[in-house]
Amino acid sequence: MAPTATTTTAAAEQQQQHPRKAVGLAAHDASGHLSPIRISRRNTGDDDVAVKVLYCGICHSDLHTIKNDWRNAIYPVVPGHEIAGVVTEVGKNVAGLAAGDRVGVGCMVNACRACESCQEGAENYCARVVLTYNSRDADGAVTRGGYSDLVVADARFVVRFPDSLPLDAGAPLLCAGATVYAPMRRHGLGAPGSHVGVIGLGGLGHVAVKFARAFGAAKVTVISTSPGKREEALERLGADAFVLSTDAAEMKAAVGTMHGIINTASAAASLHPYLALLKPHGKMILLGIPNKPLQVSAFALIGGGKTLAGSCMASISETQEMLDFAAEHGVAADVEVVGAGEVNKAMERLAKGDVRYRFVIDVGNTIKAD
Ligand SMILES: NC(=O)C1=CN([C@@H]2O[C@H](COP(=O)(O)OP(=O)(O)OC[C@H]3O[C@@H](n4cnc5c(N)ncnc54)[C@H](OP(=O)(O)O)[C@@H]3O)[C@@H](O)[C@H]2O)C=CC1
Ligand SMILES: O=C/C=C/c1ccc(O)c(O)c1
Ligand SMILES: [Zn+2]
Ligand SMILES: [Zn+2]
């Protein structure tokens, strides 16, 4: 798909600082409509890696951002933080990566490197973290994501793709996979013998089911609003049980049975019926980021001594660990690969929960300069 020139003042200024030409897909307003755009990237610095993007997953955060759900969009937004590709160039200080290597870039491209979180290797909790798109880089430029043919990132924020992991089905692991893997490990969800619930069978949810299985959970239950996902959850994804959250009898039967719940719902719903599914001392990990505040009654937590926790992305070391674990255990996303011309339709379907289970853009073949 050929880009049309977009020359806003901000884009022109960014191009002066960033001499490398690239093309991508951008949303220009809260309609979220994505259209071709010419952008620019910085030259490969001494600590940088240039990556030819081959595939990029479509995360629901991309949709939230282009629709300005979180009121923080800096248009034009070039989304994409599930980036899989091949290294084309490395800076002179970069060790361990070389042209031709298969790599991934996830949700972050930089952090302050000095704060307590950075020092302990939790860059995802750095107050000055630079997100892969819709964020301000150290040079003041707005970051642009992987719905584009080229990204340039500091090598410390680039992860290595294990040989056996396909780039298309592996791309969604860079956000969805890492985001569920890190808290499941940290909080012991999916530990052998445990019963894990997964709310929302979408991009994050379906890989949470797969990781829980791979960790050795005794039982994995999907809690979904979509009756049409029951058979697939049980037969294709390996869940042991499926609870339709709109069915009072099914929900009642599951009350007090789960050690932990991963909540990936992208829209706000009362937490109370879901918290009731936890055993005493059970934990719910909140990952979804609805645009409306969630309300929770104190009684829903104190009765049963339950924990409600949040988690955001994953550190770089957790992301690399997750990719290596995924390769070893045969975990990858179920993907629908789409071309650039189908991205707006894919976004419409994602908004309706109609995706099995992650759209991935075939960037290498469909987002190219003329
Ligand atoms: N914390 C973090 O670091 C991250 C957060 N996110 C956020 O996680 C959320 C999920 O992302 P992703 O998996 O890509 O999104 P998907 O759209 O792929 O999946 C979300 C699922 O949530 C369920 N859902 C939707 N609406 C409701 C509702 N009203 N009540 C209950 N369930 C609902 C649906 O599952 P079903 O049909 O089974 O009900 C849907 O498939 C998003 O808000 C995203 O921004 C994403 C990545 C990182
Ligand atoms: O899909 C990943 C979202 C990550 C994210 C969203 C919002 C925000 O403020 C972050 O720091 C990360
Ligand atoms: Zn994401
Ligand atoms: Zn920091």
Does residue 289 lie in a domain region? Answer: yes
**Segment 125-133 mean pLDDT:** 98
Whether 367 is covered by a domain: the verdict is no
CATH at residue 246: 3.40.50.720
| Domain of residue 40, residue span | 5-174+334-362
Ligand 2 contact via 59 beta carbon (within 6 Å) = yes
**Residues 205, 159 share a domain:** no
16, 80: one domain: yes
Query: Could you tell me if residue 71 is inside a domain?
Result: yes
Q: Are 203 and 215 in the same domain?
A: yes
- Domain membership of residue 316 (yes or no) is no
Please tell me the total count of domains within the chain: 2
Percent of the chain with pLDDT over 90: 92
Contact at 8 Å (CB) between 178 and 318?
Answer: yes
pLDDT band, very low/low/confident/very high, at 6 (cuts 50, 70, 90)? very low
Structure confidence at residue 78 as a pLDDT band (50, 70, 90): very high
C-alpha span between 242 and 251 (Å, rounded):
10
Q: What's the mean pLDDT in 115-125?
A: 98
In whole angstroms, give the CA distance from residue 59 to residue 62: 5
CB of 289 within 6 A of ligand 1: the answer is yes
- Omega cis (within 30) before 76: yes
Q: Is the pLDDT of residue 7 over 50?
A: no
Asked if pLDDT for residue 45 goes beyond 70, the answer is: yes
Query: If you average pLDDT over residues 38-46, what whole number do you get?
Result: 96
- Band of residue 3 on the pLDDT scale cut at 50, 70, 90: very low
Q: Is the CB of 175 under 6 A from ligand 2?
A: yes
* 289 and 355 assigned to the same domain: no
Q: Output the pLDDT for position 15.
A: 64
Distance 357 CA to ligand 4 centre (A): 33
Residue 248 and residue 202 share a domain: yes
Strand (E) positions, the chain?
Answer: 20-27, 34-41, 48-57, 83-90, 102-105, 108-110, 130-131, 150-154, 159-160, 195-199, 219-224, 241-244, 258-263, 278-286, 307-310, 335-338, 358-361
191 and 124 in one domain? Answer: no
Tens digits of residue pLDDT in 262-315: 999 999 889 999 999 999 999 999 999 999 999 999 999 999 999 999 999 999
Hey, how many other C-beta atoms are within 10 angstroms of the C-beta on 276?
A: 17
Q: At 31, which amino acid appears?
A: S
Q: Whose CA is nearest to atom 29 of ligand 1?
A: 267
- Ligand 1 within 6 A of CB of 175: yes
What is the C-alpha separation between 112 and 99, in angstroms, rounded?
Answer: 27
Average pLDDT, the chain: 95
Distance of alpha carbon 40 from alpha carbon 4, whole angstroms? 14
Whether residue 10 is found in the same domain as residue 158: yes
**Domain assignment present for 325:** no
Instruction: Give me ligand 3 centre to Cα 58, in Å.
Output: 8
Calpha distance 199→349 (Å, rounded) = 19
pLDDT of residue 268: 84
Omega within 30 of 0 (cis) for the link into 75: no
pLDDT in tens, 215-236: 999 999 999 999 999 999 999 9
Say yes or no: 50 and 100 in one domain: yes
CA-CA distances (angstroms) from residue 333 to 178, 235, 354?
12, 15, 15
* Position with higher pLDDT, 370 vs 151: 151
Give the closest residue to 223 by CA, choosing from 183, 176, 185, 263.
Answer: 263
C-alpha separations of 77 from 34, 148, 221 in Å: 9, 11, 36
Which CATH number goes with the domain that contains 151? 3.90.180.10
Q: Is 105 exposed, middle or buried (0-12, 13-18, 19+ CB in 10 A)?
A: buried
Strand partners, 27: 34, 77
CA dihedral 359, 180, 123, 140 (to 10 degrees): 30
Average pLDDT over residues 337-341: 98
Ligand lying nearest the CA atom of residue 131:
2
One domain for residues 221 and 147: no
Per the domain annotation, does 328 fall within a domain? no
Q: Are residues 110 and 240 in the same domain?
A: no
Residue 60 inside a domain? The answer is: yes
Q: Is the CB of 312 under 6 A from ligand 1?
A: yes
Residue 170's pLDDT band, with cuts at 50, 70 and 90, is very high
Q: Is the same domain home to 259 and 137? A: no
Per-residue exposure over 161-185, b if at least 16 CB sit within 10 Å of its own CB, e if not: beeebebbbbbbbbbbbbbbbbbbb
Tell me: the pLDDT tens digits for 94-111?
999 999 999 999 999 999
12/46 same-domain check = yes
